[in-house]
Amino acid sequence: MRQHDTLFIGGEWVTPAGTGTIDVVSPHTEEVVGRVPDGTAADMDRAVAAARQAFDQGPWPRLTFAERAAAISRLAEVYAARLGEMADLITEEMGSPITFSQLAQAPQPLGMLQYYAELGTTFQQEEQRPGLFGPTTVRREPVGVVAAIVPWNVPQFVAMTKIAPALLAGCAIVLKPAPETPLDAYLLAEIAQEAGIPAGVLNIVPAGREAGEHLVSHPGVDKVAFTGSTAAGRRIGSICGEQLKRVSLELGGKSAAIILDDADLAASVGMLAIASLMNNGQACVAQTRILASRNRYDEVVEAVAGMVTSQQVGDPADPATGIGPLVARRQQERVEGYIRIGMEEGAKVVVGGLDRPYDRGWYVAPTVFSGVSNDMRIAREEIFGPVLAVIPYEDEADAIRIANDSDYGLAGSVWTADADHGMDVARQVRTGTYGVNCFMLEANAPFGGYKSSGVGRELGPEGLAGYLEHKSITRLG
């Protein structure tokens, strides 16, 4: 078992203020695989003080962008050396299939570090603009101390969408990992320490909701960067709004994949195995609404059902596994609750249902519903599990209407033989990230949502801008 007795604060491993602990339980075996301290408000105070010291008096925010980029590049080199260890650890603590961990859970955070390290070599802190009364200097300065609060589903990916740009901007960070997945954050702390990131620039305190809210409300925090549920995002947004504190929120989704009649169905559905079921369906960008025309509806339902049944369900450490367990018993019960709701609403279970694949582990049978209308709860609410709803549409305009008829707007895709036409469809769907015959996130492009899917953008230059204040200086003479 992985046992940690300290917290990473001020560049050192320190004794926590309290005696509480967090057990990390394997979703596959239901056995305790790790234990870490349960951070308290006092620990958050200490972490914010360390970050405050590093920002207000330390060298980090006073370095040039190029100097910070060099430090991030060193961090990336150390991270790369432990990539396999990171992938294995995330699979162990939250049940992500090892193939997905090796594809996304560890390599994509590394890619973000590498992207921002490269961006920093050319990014200009100051820009000169001609003005009506004289030359104006536009200066970019770090926002300050950042509270980064991340979920359990893709813990390193989400952490790095915040840490990498915040580091380049010159901020100091307090990272609060989710109680379900703190182990990877400890490995990140070791990597940061080995890479020589200055003391106090990155502090890590695992904790529950109460200590997390204390961190959000802390007067020493200048910005909160949060990824998680829309309900929690509303609470955090209200606190930050009351305090006039900078905030970015990446929240839930209920994304639609539109399959047009000219699409290569076998190829499209094959790609949807990732777009719809990635990480056991525990992804905010998962395309869990599959939109099919009435002309090909039965054919699409059959193809989607075949794709789902072809996924091996089992041990996430087995490379042959396509779908592993859900992160916790409460998540298993939540997803099964939605399957029950779908049945009660009149949708038809094509594959899956309420029979659990295994007696041990928090597994749910991957499920496909047909006969779904877009007003059903299973079509409107984020389930966060391997449950797909195939929804019929009349024509292309109706498909776009259904895709947009959602409280969310985080992701989506269209599948067609005519990629140029697919671009026309993409421009009409109100969502932050879209794919034509694919779905992926690029480190150099902004990621975030419309509507209840969040506020602000991460990744790309736009992600860096969220950690910068812009100052205008006009002079005469």
Catalytic residues: 250, 284
Torsion of CA 283, 286, 289, 295, to 10 degrees: -160
Binning the chain into helix, strand and coil, the percentages to the nearest 5 are 40, 20, 40
| CA–CA distance, 103 with 1 (Å, rounded to integer) | 25
| CA–CA distance, 51 with 171 (Å, rounded to integer) | 9
Pairing of the two strands 172-176 and 223-227: unpaired
| CA–CA distance, 107 with 86 (Å, rounded to integer) | 9
Amino acid at 99: T
DSSP helix/strand/coil, 90:
helix
Q: How many residues does the chain have?
A: 477
| CA–CA distance, 426 with 428 (Å, rounded to integer) | 5
Q: Find how far residue 191's CA is from the centre of its chain.
A: 21
Contacts of 42 (CB under 8 A, 6+ apart): 17, 18
| CA–CA distance, 148 with 12 (Å, rounded to integer) | 19
| CA–CA distance, 57 with 41 (Å, rounded to integer) | 24
Give the tokens for residue 352: 């899956």
| CA–CA distance, 83 with 65 (Å, rounded to integer) | 26
Torsion of CA 327, 328, 330, 336, to 10 degrees: 60
Q: Which parts of 196-296 fold into alpha helices (H)?
A: 209-217, 230-243, 265-277
Give the tokens for residue 150: 């991340």
Strand partners, 129: 136
Q: Find how far residue 8's CA is from the centre of its chain.
A: 23
**216 C-beta neighbours (distance < 10 Å), count:** 23
> In 3D, which of 145, 163, 166 has the Cα closest to residue 155?
163
**Exposed e or buried b per residue across 225-246, where buried means at least 16 C-beta atoms within 10 angstroms of its C-beta:** bbbbebebbebbbeebeeeebb
DSSP helix/strand/coil, 423:
helix
